[in-house]
Amino acid sequence: MRALLGLSRIIDAFNTFVGRWLSWLIVAAVLISAVNAVVRKLFDMSSNSYLELQWVLFSVVFMLCSPWTLLSNEHIRIDIINHNLPLKLRGWIDMIGHVFFLMPFAIILLWWSVPFFLVSWQQNEQSFSAGGLPQWPAKSLIMIMCVLLIIQGISEIIKRFAMMVGAIPDSNASAQGSHSSAELEAERLLLKVDSDRK
């Protein structure tokens, strides 16, 4: 178990590093968008490559930071329901979700994204827009995202199993989890609605 948890820590550190650095590309996308808008308004000039670059940068952040989102427990779930379930049941829900939904989805998507990327790369596929960017770098993002999600999924399964056997503390048991402020706000609103009805 110690070796598996060590592997999990390496995966977590890697995806945290990738996520933190790539999230800065949002700033680059905003700057490119702003400069492109100013140039278009002031000089009546524009470039499809800059427009497409904004989309690619956003895609990089959205797709390649998704394992970091999973690691940080910031992915979408119905927290107001999940929070009220017993710890053991929450652990099983997490384990079933990772093993039977996340991993098969990521593996199937990886299986289909490799030929999708290779065909584009071999043809040196270009944008349909005049002056646009090559398409194969953007198509490679799906494949890279799947690999990162699979390794993060392995880490999450290792941690969930370790929690279930009592090797590490259960992260669901912490009242100050990553969603605690949102959960507290939701509970406050529900209490307010109940008191208003009375």
Q: Which pair of structure tokens corresponds to residue 114?
A: 């490799």
Within 10 angstroms of residue 57's Cβ, the number of other Cβ atoms is 20
Taking alpha carbons only, the member of 154, 167, 127 closest to residue 10 is 154
- Residue pLDDT, tens place only, 53-64: 999 999 999 999
Are 20 and 68 in contact by the 8 Å Cβ rule? The answer is yes
CA gap 163, 91 in Å, rounded: 8
- Residue pLDDT, tens place only, 117-173: 999 999 999 988 888 899 999 999 999 999 999 999 999 999 999 988 888 887 766
List Cβ neighbours of 125 (8 Å cut-off, separation of 6 or more): 119, 134, 135, 136, 139
* pLDDT of amino acid 77: 66
Percent of the chain having pLDDT more than 70?
A: 86
CA gap 51, 29 in Å, rounded: 9
pLDDT band at 189 (very low <50, low <70, confident <90, very high): low
Q: Is the pLDDT of residue 11 over 90?
A: yes
Are 93 and 79 in contact by the 8 Å Cβ rule? The answer is no
Taking alpha carbons only, the member of 7, 12, 5 closest to residue 167 is 5
* pLDDT of amino acid 176: 45
Q: Which pair of structure tokens corresponds to residue 175?
A: 């009242």
Write out the H or E segment, with its range, that includes residue 8: helix 2-22
The domain limits of the chain are 2-197
| Torsion over CA: 92, 95, 97, 100 (sign) | negative
**Mean pLDDT of the residues in the chain:** 86
Percent of the chain having pLDDT more than 90?
A: 57
Taking alpha carbons only, the member of 113, 114, 64, 86 closest to residue 170 is 86
